Amino acid sequence: MKILGLTGDIASGKSSVARLLGEKGAAHLDADLLVRELYANRDFAAQLAAQFGDVLAPDGTICREKLAPLVFGNEALLHELEAIVYPAVAQLRAQKLRELEKNGAKWVVLEAVKLLESGQSRVCDEVWCVVASRETQLRRLIENRDLSVAQAQSRLRNQPPRERKIELAGSVPLRFVENNGTFDELKTRVAALWADFAASAAPRDA
């Protein structure tokens, strides 16, 4: 089974690429959905509550609306949260990958916003990073997410440079998927890249 990592800048079109890859027959694992599954686990939620205090919903699961304000903007607490969540996500991801392989999956797309930063890219045979020009991102944030110019610019300031992504990828092949044009252009580009990926060396064990 081959694993293709998928990440991307904000408003770059990562979700569109994920959908196109699904049409190619690839199974899909979304890291954010894995986190949500963990947050819905009462035992895991209790562990976070013991560390961070009042972060539970009435049903004993994690309330993101309570947790998010505590950690975002507080780098130390965010690192503490990631130190707990990342290993747990890794275990759940490994379980899901084993299940997919057992069920005969040939390709899996592992999607994560922080795929490179969290180290999840280490299990991938290749990583695609969807990117767009700053002008394109700004326009999409304003038009599609109803943000003001100032809000959109603030979000763009937080994205890491390409050089940092290359550094984080290490020995894992990294491809930047440019998405500044039409959907048909993106579809053509993804099809060509997918043909290369699907035809490349035999998959390694996950």
- Residue 29, H or E segment: strand 27-30
186 within 8 A of 192, measured Cβ to Cβ? no
11 within 8 A of 151, measured Cβ to Cβ? no
Q: How many domains does the chain have?
A: 1
Ordered alpha helix ranges (H), the chain: 14-23, 31-39, 42-52, 64-71, 75-102, 134-144, 149-156, 162-169, 183-199
Higher pLDDT, 150 or 185: 185
| pLDDT, mean over the chain | 92
Would the pLDDT of 206 be above 70? no
The answer to whether residue 39 sits within a structural domain is yes
b/e code 166-195 from CB counts within 10 Å (16+ = b):
eebbeeeebebbebeeeeeebeebbeebbe
Would the pLDDT of 81 be above 90? yes
Question: For residue 151, what pLDDT is reported?
Answer: 86
Question: For residue 144, what pLDDT is reported?
Answer: 87
**How confident is the model over 65-87, as a mean pLDDT?**
91
The answer to whether residue 34 sits within a structural domain is yes
The answer to whether residue 203 sits within a structural domain is no
Instruction: Name the packing angle between helices 31-39 and 75-102 (round to 10°).
Output: 110
The answer to whether residue 205 sits within a structural domain is no
Kindly report, residue by residue over 10-55, the tens digit of the pLDDT.
899 999 999 999 999 999 999 999 999 999 999 999 999 999 999 9
Is 104 strand, coil or helix? coil
Question: For residue 160, what pLDDT is reported?
Answer: 82
The answer to whether residue 57 sits within a structural domain is yes
Question: For residue 33, what pLDDT is reported?
Answer: 94
Distance of CA 147 to the CA centre of its chain: 22
- Is the C-alpha dihedral spanning 110, 161, 119, 113 positive or negative? negative
Residue 83 has a CB neighbour count (10 Å cut-off) of 10
Residue 89 maps to which CATH number?
Answer: 3.40.50.300
Residue 185, token pair as written in the block:
């252009």
Question: For residue 203, what pLDDT is reported?
Answer: 47
Q: What is the pTM of this model?
A: 0.86
Note down the domain range covering 65: 2-198
28 within 8 A of 132, measured Cβ to Cβ? no
The answer to whether residue 60 sits within a structural domain is yes
Nearest residue to 132 (alpha-carbon basis) of 10, 7, 6, 21: 10
The answer to whether residue 136 sits within a structural domain is yes
Q: How confident is the model at residue 161 (pLDDT cuts 50, 70, 90)?
A: confident
Q: How confident is the model at residue 186 (pLDDT cuts 50, 70, 90)?
A: very high
Straight-line distance from the first to the last Cα atom of the chain, in angstroms, rounded to the nearest whole number: 7
Question: For residue 202, what pLDDT is reported?
Answer: 47
The answer to whether residue 160 sits within a structural domain is yes
Q: How confident is the model at residue 159 (pLDDT cuts 50, 70, 90)?
A: confident
